[in-house]
């Protein structure tokens, strides 16, 4: 069989399903999908990298306008017909420059860390919980939950509100299952207009591909129903925000066995193996730098607070610590054990970059056999900040500016991102923070305009 035959077979398969155009897709610094549409007659050219892009036209694809274009090299295994428009098929792609992997490609950055894990005999499995909002535009130019009765102070798990939104949510779930993602539950979450879908974990690269595709898919399906999906971490000041909890484990590369499962030696009785505790210690060591990537917007830090929701809690962590089935820690070990959940990520992040830095930190913990200390089973929010400091527990950054400072100061961040993406990320996010501070908010006008 020559190299052309598998592509021709794929072309025929997609054409039989009604696909007319393939999307050679990749992501910018935000994890937002970019790409071109290619007629199926030219699929072979697209798979060979025919689609070129000027990186300078995009956020965080660090190129100057005089640089050679980057090429999208699609991954044939990711071919996904788009349920909302059967004429389209999406392909996740790696960026190449002059025939070589582009250093600052988000997907390549994750692949490099997966290769580092493989060198140690590990595969990295990841599950990401997708929380998001469904809204409708309002006549006054604002937005609101789709259901007029979605006004409860504690709407979490209310089946009536889920039923009101079921035409959209059901279509999203059916699309996920059509792609083999195996949705095992979905619900109305703790904020008005907020929903969550939970589906089976997979390898980290596949999960990152799914997350970026999910955001596009959910929005396109919502638009069909006259609504829109929002992945802003916290659109309401007095409601909870949308997380994207990372559920992580390492598996034996050959057998697939979960190496985080306890096997008789669980020094802290939390339900994971000694290897997992080393992984946890590595993540905690670099937690503040990681936060810049998994909570990457100004708005992200409105979510990472102890209070600020009508239900009494934001359900988001502020402490760099771990424990058992305790949602006040950054790292939680669910009661089923065998995995580690990081609760700090929000739904606006670039999952390739977030997973890469998280994995690198965990692998460092394993290589150096770091000790995470004792787990915290108590409600961490009951402690004063002075008590937390006395225990030697760091706080997660309070602002994007603080997070970028931590990211820039951590040598692991540059090692993982590479010079080009590291510099671009710091410059872009620092500019975002400064632009935010140049704005004068309504709060400031109300508080200071007539103060004296």
Q: Is residue 159 part of a domain?
A: yes
Longest distance between any two alpha carbons in the chain, whole Å: 82
Distance CA 35, CA 14 (A): 18
Residue 385's H or E segment, with its range, is helix 385-390
Q: Is residue 307 part of a domain?
A: yes
Residue 81 is part of a domain; what is its CATH number? 3.10.20.70
From 61, 84, 102, the end of a domain falls on 102
Same domain (yes/no): 268, 411: yes
Tokens of 365: 């913990």
Q: Is residue 252 part of a domain?
A: no
**DSSP character at residue 68:** P
Segment 71-76 long-range contacts (CB within 8 Å, at least 24 positions apart): 71/95, 71/96, 71/97, 72/24, 72/25, 72/26, 72/35, 72/36, 72/96, 73/47, 73/48, 73/49, 74/22, 74/24, 74/25, 74/46, 74/47, 75/209, 76/6, 76/7, 76/10, 76/47
Number of separate domains in the chain? 3
- Structural domain boundaries, residue 145: 130-242
CA geometry: angle 150, 155, 160, nearest 5 deg: 65
Same domain (yes/no): 142, 90: no
Q: What is the reported pLDDT for 15?
A: 97
Same domain (yes/no): 94, 234: no
Distance CA 224, CA 247 (A): 31
From 102, 122, 149, the end of a domain falls on 102
Residue 145 is part of a domain; what is its CATH number? 3.30.590.10
Same domain (yes/no): 92, 171: no
Q: Specify the length of the chain in residues.
A: 452
Q: Is residue 372 part of a domain?
A: yes
Note if the pTM is more than 0.75. yes
> Which residue's entry shows tokens 């956020």?
59
Same domain (yes/no): 302, 429: yes
Distance CA 247, CA 314 (A): 19
Task: Give the torsion through C-alpha atoms of 389, 393, 396, 401, to 10 deg.
Answer: 60
Cβ 325 vs Cβ 335: under 8 Å: yes
Q: Is residue 224 part of a domain?
A: yes
Q: Is residue 124 part of a domain?
A: no
Q: What is the reported pLDDT for 1?
A: 41
Residue 122: which of 255, 3, 23 has the closest Cα? 255
Residue 5's H or E segment, with its range, is helix 4-16
Same domain (yes/no): 290, 432: yes
Residue 398: which of 306, 315, 327, 313 has the closest Cα? 306
Same domain (yes/no): 270, 374: yes
Contacts of 336 (CB under 8 A, 6+ apart): 271
Q: Is residue 202 part of a domain?
A: yes
Contacts of 326 (CB under 8 A, 6+ apart): 332, 376, 377, 378, 379, 380
Distance CA 27, CA 219 (A): 16
Same domain (yes/no): 46, 139: no
Distance CA 351, CA 425 (A): 14
- In order along the chain (452 residues), what is the average pLDDT of each group of 10 residues? 74 97 96 97 96 91 91 97 97 97 97 98 98 97 96 95 98 97 97 98 98 98 98 95 97 97 87 96 98 98 79 78 91 92 97 98 98 93 90 95 98 98 97 95 95 92
Distance CA 9, CA 6 (A): 5
Same domain (yes/no): 202, 334: no
Distance CA 27, CA 58 (A): 10
From 242, 275, 306, the end of a domain falls on 242
Q: What is the reported pLDDT for 4?
A: 60
- Calculate helix-pair angle for 411-438, 400-409, nearest 10 degrees: 150
Same domain (yes/no): 279, 143: no
Q: Is residue 3 part of a domain?
A: no
Tokens of 305: 């607070």
Q: What is the reported pLDDT for 326?
A: 86
Same domain (yes/no): 63, 186: no
Helices assigned H by DSSP within 273-334: 274-285, 287-294, 300-303
Residue 221: which of 91, 129, 92, 132 has the closest Cα? 132
Same domain (yes/no): 87, 150: no
């Amino acid at each position: 069989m020559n190299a052309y035959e598998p592509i021709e077979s794929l072309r025929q398969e997609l054409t039989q399903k009604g696909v007319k155009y393939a999307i050679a897709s990749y992501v910018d610094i935000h994890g937002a999908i970019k790409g071109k549409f290619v007629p199926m007659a030219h699929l072979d050219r697209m798979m060979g990298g025919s689609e070129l892009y000027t990186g300078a036209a995009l956020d965080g694809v660090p190129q100057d306008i005089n640089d050679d274009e980057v090429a999208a090299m699609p991954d044939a295994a990711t071919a996904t017909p788009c349920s909302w428009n059967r004429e389209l098929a999406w392909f996740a792609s790696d960026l190449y420059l002059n025939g070589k992997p582009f250093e600052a490609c988000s997907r390549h950055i994750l692949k490099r860390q997966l290769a580092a894990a493989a060198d140690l005999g590990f595969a990295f499995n990841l599950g990401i919980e997708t929380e998001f909002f469904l809204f409708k535009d309002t006549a006054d130019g604002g937005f609101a939950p789709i259901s007029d009765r979605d006004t409860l102070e504690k709407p979490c798990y209310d089946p009536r509100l889920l039923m009101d939104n079921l035409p959209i949510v059901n279509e999203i779930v059916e699309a996920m299952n059509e792609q083999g993602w195996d949705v095992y539950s979905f619900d109305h979450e703790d904020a008005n207009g907020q929903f969550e879908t939970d589906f089976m974990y997979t390898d980290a690269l596949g999960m990152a591909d799914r997350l970026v595709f999910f955001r596009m898919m959910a929005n396109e399906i919502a638009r069909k129903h006259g609504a829109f999906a929002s992945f802003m971490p916290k659109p309401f000041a007095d409601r909870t925000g949308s997380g994207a909890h990372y559920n992580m484990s390492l598996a034996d590369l050959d057998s697939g066995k979960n190496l985080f499962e306890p096997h008789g030696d669980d020094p802290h009785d939390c339900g994971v193996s000694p290897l997992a505790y080393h992984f946890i210690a590595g993540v905690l060591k670099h937690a503040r730098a990681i936060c810049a990537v998994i909570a990457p917007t100004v708005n992200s830090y409105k979510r990472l607070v102890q209070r600020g929701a009508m239900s009494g809690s934001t359900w988001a962590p502020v402490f760099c610590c771990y424990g058992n089935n305790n949602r006040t820690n950054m790292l939680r070990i669910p009661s089923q054990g065998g995995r580690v959940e990081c609760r700090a990520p929000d739904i606006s992040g670039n999952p390739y970059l977030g997973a890469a830095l998280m994995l690198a930190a965990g692998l460092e913990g394993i290589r150096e056999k770091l000790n995470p200390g004792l787990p915290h089973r108590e409600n961490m929010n009951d402690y004063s900040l002075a008590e937390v400091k006395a225990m030697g527990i760091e706080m997660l950054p309070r602002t994007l500016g603080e997070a970028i400072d931590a990211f820039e100061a951590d040598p692991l961040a540059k090692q993982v991102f590479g010079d080009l993406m590291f510099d671009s990320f710091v410059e872009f996010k620092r500019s975002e923070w400064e632009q935010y501070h140049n704005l004068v908010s309504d709060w400031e006008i109300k508080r200071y305009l007539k103060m004296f």
